[in-house]
Amino acid sequence: MLIAKGARLVAHALLVLDQGRPWSLPLEDRALLVAAYWRTNLTMRQLAPLFGVSKSAADRIIDHLGPMLALQPRKRFAKDTVLIVDGTLVPTRDHAVAEQFKNYRYSTNHQIVIDADTRLVVAVGRPLPGNRNDCKAWEESGAKAAVGSTLTIADGGYPGTGLVMPHRRRKGEDLPDWKEAHNRSHKQVRARVEHVFARMKTWKILRDCRLKGDGVHHAMLGIARMHNLALAG
């Protein structure tokens, strides 16, 4: 139900862009096919019969429409906006864009930036190999450039980036009460990005992505857009 609603909304937004050679499926059904693929991670052999098309046609639809469903990063932020950034790993079978890391699986690192107030995704960095640490991925993925000077908070994995991080305890020392209170508040707010990850990863393509090249990036951007549509009602 939610997938169909989101697909209809996106399809109407894309209608003006969908000019050219006629497709065997109307635009709404094609958007639904792409969303169903991201949601279920079915193979083309399993997915194509559900929409009455061939495997190759389903594959072409995903390759063509997936990038058009991508979230567009927000370009302006109010002065009092607070953002949250964190990285998440997506197991990816294309070893040309992925690397092994702590979980011993080939993964890609995705930097996700959300609005702390609304929990909407405002920017998604380009995927990097999974062994890239977050403080480097923050800049290399383009996430830093996307948010500019907007106040952004992060966990302790972003040293030297200028982001707002929790206070660190030095060896043999205890943090003063005000720093402990700040860390508790910081943790509670930053948990919102973890909740966003949990919701986005109900889309099974982000648990084992078989797409090659930019496919994992397009899937992440499209799912971010679906997440925002669902959250905004």
Q: Which amino acid is at 189?
A: V
Residue appearing with tokens 């109010």: 78
Q: What does DSSP say about strands 128-129 and 106-115: parallel, antiparallel, or unpaired?
A: antiparallel
What's the rounded mean pLDDT across residues 78-100?
94
CA 23 to chain centre: 28
Pick the range with the lowest mean pLDDT from 67-81, 159-173, 216-230: 159-173
Pick the range with the lowest mean pLDDT from 5-9, 64-68, 141-145: 5-9
3-class secondary structure, 121: strand
9 confidence band (pLDDT: 50, 70, 90) = low
Least Cα distance to 28 among 5, 8, 48, 13 occurs for 8
- Give the CA dihedral 42, 44, 50, 54, nearest 10 degrees: 180
> Which H or E element spans position 112?
strand 106-115
C-alpha distances in angstroms, 61 versus 57, 89, 111, 229? 6, 26, 27, 22
Euclidean distance between CA atoms 170 and 140, whole angstroms: 29
Task: Share the mean pLDDT of the chain.
Answer: 89
pLDDT digits over 128-176, tens only?
A: 999 999 999 999 999 999 999 999 999 999 999 999 999 888 777 888 8
- pLDDT at position 210 over 70: yes
Helix axis angle, 2-14 to 215-232, nearest 10°: 110
pLDDT of residue 16: 45
For residue 47, give both structure tokens: 């997915």
221 confidence band (pLDDT: 50, 70, 90) = very high
pLDDT of residue 103: 72
Euclidean distance between CA atoms 77 and 116, whole angstroms: 12
Using the 8-state DSSP alphabet, how is residue 164 labeled?
A: B
